[in-house]
Amino acid sequence: MSNEEIEFPTGLFAKAPHPNAPDFVKGKLSVKRADFGNYLRGKEGDWLNFDIKESKDGKWYVALDTWQPEKEAPAPKTDDFDDDVPF
């Protein structure tokens, strides 16, 4: 687990499925529209990703997924060849 601070989105809540729910129901999300709308307005970008997690004591929660891919180094230039291979 990362030492990074977990960001909990305001107004978005996850819950375990009801015990009588069918097997294809994996969880439940609840949104408090005013709070979540304000949270979204404070964010940039076209997409936000969230993880639904379970705490050590079994309580479900939602956390902002802050993972970003590492920037790749530019590919080395390959148009300068020193060999005499004809292909």
In this prediction, residue 73 carries a pLDDT of 75
| Residue 2: predicted pLDDT | 53
Domain hosting 25: range is 12-64
**In the prediction, which pLDDT does 68 show?**
86
Query: E-strand spans in 1-87?
Result: 12-15, 28-31, 50-54, 60-64
User: Which residues, in sequence order, are CB contacts of 4 under 8 Å at separation 6+?
Assistant: 66
The verdict on residue 7 lying in a domain is no
> What pLDDT does residue 74 have?
77
The verdict on residue 73 lying in a domain is no
Residue 84 lies in a domain: no
Number of folded domains that form the chain: 1
Residue 74 lies in a domain: no
Residue 1 lies in a domain: no
pTM of the model: 0.70
**What number of helices (H) and strands (E) belong to the chain?**
1, 4
